[in-house]
Amino acid sequence: MNLMMALLTNLTLTTLLVTIAFWLPQLNAYSEKTSPYECGFDPMGSARLPFSMKFFLVAITFLLFDLEIALLLPLPWASQTTNLNTMLTMALLLILLLAVSLAYEWTQEGLEWTE
């Protein structure tokens, strides 16, 4: 009996709320206020505007470095070593790997904005 009463109450309440939401008027006084902000790009323009390749390359570089840090940073703790020298060596190798990667990216001019 309690189960049937709960189901009937839920069904009635759901139907009532859906009906009220359907029949209430949509109040969109300011269309610009509800549009998403596109960080300087015109939100009402064409979707087929050319995209700068520099943004894409910087985003890919950021993702690579971010993934490298996220995967390699917990490595000394994941290996469960209690030896401080081993942990220090692994941390220094991680920093060295990141520094070499950054130097390589810099020499390949992957971080330059000018043509």
Check if the beta carbon of residue 61 is closer than 8 Å to that of residue 110: yes
Note the pLDDT tens digit of each residue in 10-49. Answer: 999 999 999 988 888 766 566 666 666 666 666 566 666 6
What predicted TM-score, i.e. pTM, was given to this entire model?
A: 0.48
Using alpha carbons, list the distances in angstroms from residue 89 to 60, 73, 80, 96, 104.
28, 12, 14, 10, 22
What are the sequence ranges of the domains in the chain? Answer: 68-106
pLDDT for residue 94 is more than 60 = yes
